[in-house]
């Protein structure tokens, strides 16, 4: 694990008075570019982004467990500096084509279902090239809702 992530996690546990038996599931940044990773992180910190969408193939291809309600994750900027801890509140898996505006607006990134679809078709197409899957409208998407539970700066 990333040393800074572990330092940040221990800081979170200590400041929140939580036991060392609680673990985070992953430490990650959003998206595939520095611009979007940092912009989406900012939306989380502002409370506007309360969900994220991933391809189900990503989890299978990387032998990762699916997220579940109660999981904690550390979100970083593009260069890996931890900025916040989120806790998953709900996970929904459904085909890309069945994602509604009611659901996707929780990501806080778009003004309409159509713009969300365009942006995510592009994301899933590029992610698929890197992860070995092909985007289709029927492709299963893991839609993860979360709450921001900690956003103090790291004290190194």
- In the prediction, which pLDDT does 95 show? 98
Give me the CATH number covering residue 69. 3.10.400.10
Question: 151 phi and psi, to 5 degrees?
Answer: -145, 30
Q: Is residue 152 part of a domain?
A: no
Q: What is the pTM of this model?
A: 0.93
Q: Is residue 128 part of a domain?
A: yes
- In the prediction, which pLDDT does 2 show? 62
- pLDDT tens per residue, range 28-66: 999 989 999 999 999 999 999 999 999 999 998 888 899
How many Cβ atoms from other residues are within 10 Å of residue 102's Cβ? Answer: 8
- Domain tally for the chain? 1
Under 8 Å CB-to-CB from 106, ≥6 apart: which residues? 50, 51, 145
Q: Is residue 141 part of a domain?
A: yes
Is a pLDDT exceeding 50 seen at residue 1? no
Is a pLDDT exceeding 80 seen at residue 3? no
Alpha-carbon span 48 to 22, nearest angstrom: 26
Range of the domain at 95: 3-147
């Amino acid at each position: 694990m990333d040393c800074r992530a572990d330092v940040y996690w221990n800081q979170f546990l200590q400041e929140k008075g939580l036991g060392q038996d609680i673990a985070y599931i992953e430490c990650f940044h959003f998206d595939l570019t520095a611009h979007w990773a940092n912009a989406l992180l900012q939306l989380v910190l502002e409370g506007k982004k309360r969900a994220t969408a991933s391809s189900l193939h990503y989890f299978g291809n990387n032998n990762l467990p699916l997220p579940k309600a109660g999981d904690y994750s550390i979100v970083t900027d593009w260069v890996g500096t931890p900025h916040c801890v989120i806790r998953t509140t709900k996970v929904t898996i459904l085909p890309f084509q069945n994602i509604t505006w009611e659901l996707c607006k929780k990501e806080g990134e778009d003004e309409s279902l159509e713009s969300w679809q365009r942006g995510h078709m592009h994301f899933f197409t590029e992610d698929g090239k890197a992860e070995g899957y092909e985007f289709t409208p029927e492709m299963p998407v893991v839609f993860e809702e979360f709450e921001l539970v900690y956003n103090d700066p790291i004290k190194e």
